Amino acid sequence: MADIEAMFHQVKVAPEHTDALRFLSWPEGDVQQTPLTYRIMVHLFGGVWGPSCASYALKRTFLDHIDVCPANVVDAQQNLYVDDLLISMQSADEGIRLAEHLRHVTSLGGFRLTKWESNSKEVLESIPESERHKEVKEIDIECKPLPTERALGVRCDLEKDQMAVVIKHFEQGGSVTRRDLLRVISSVYDLLGFLAPFLVCAKVRLQEEERVEQGYI
């Protein structure tokens, strides 16, 4: 896993479009003075156009250097989710080579692929310490277990190479209301559907509570 640092800010806005990103600023915060007009020269995080423009620039980086990249490096762009990289390899050696090539080709486009994490300590040791995620940068890789991190919103136990789930219990002594059930169901982010069997039970319970409230049971 890795992350492109400040991805949107690495892509410049076309000069003819910068007038759409004008803003006023008062010198030293003094609103009594005449405000100055500035233009934002790079794409903004939060702009509806930002993800598509930045993703295009990143994809173009791979296409522009397709002649100097191994095929699996070019294919790896399919595993980029905006600024997040999440990819798996068959062996640590393959992972080491891919990480090296990816760092190189993204740098050719002005991007920095950093915050690296892996369930393989061999791969982590091949990554410069400055480019590792802070959670694995601050531990002794040889002596301590790897941490649990988030991958696209899903918790991943790097040491065991397993997906992880945080379970929160209701406080004892209080009754579980329909609102409580709805809040818990809505808060679960299960991208891969691993929790579907358990969520079905909660949704059935929620329907039962609704029927009781409406007088059908």
Higher confidence at residue 141 or residue 38?
A: 38
User: Which residues, in sequence order, are CB contacts of 159 under 8 Å at separation 6+?
Assistant: 119, 145, 146, 147, 148
Higher confidence at residue 149 or residue 88?
A: 88
Would you state the pLDDT for residue 209?
77
Residue holding tokens 């029927």?
211
Please write the tens of the pLDDT for every residue from 163-213: 877 776 666 556 777 787 888 888 887 877 888 888 888 888 888 877 777
Please write the tens of the pLDDT for every residue from 24-74: 999 988 889 999 999 999 998 888 888 999 999 999 999 898 888 888 888
Residue 1 has pLDDT above 80, yes or no: yes
| pLDDT averaged over every residue in the chain | 85
For the chain, what percent of residues have pLDDT higher than 70?
A: 93
Is 163 in a helix, a strand, or coil?
A: strand
**Residue 106: Cβ-neighbour burial (10 angstroms; 0-12, 13-18, 19+):** buried
* Strand partners for 156: 149, 163
Residue 144 has pLDDT above 80, yes or no: no
Helix (H) or strand (E) holding 214: none
Contact 58, 111 (CB under 8 A): yes
* Torsion angle in degrees (nearest 10) through CA of 198, 200, 202, 208: -150
Q: Which amino acid is at 215?
A: G
Residue length of the chain? 217
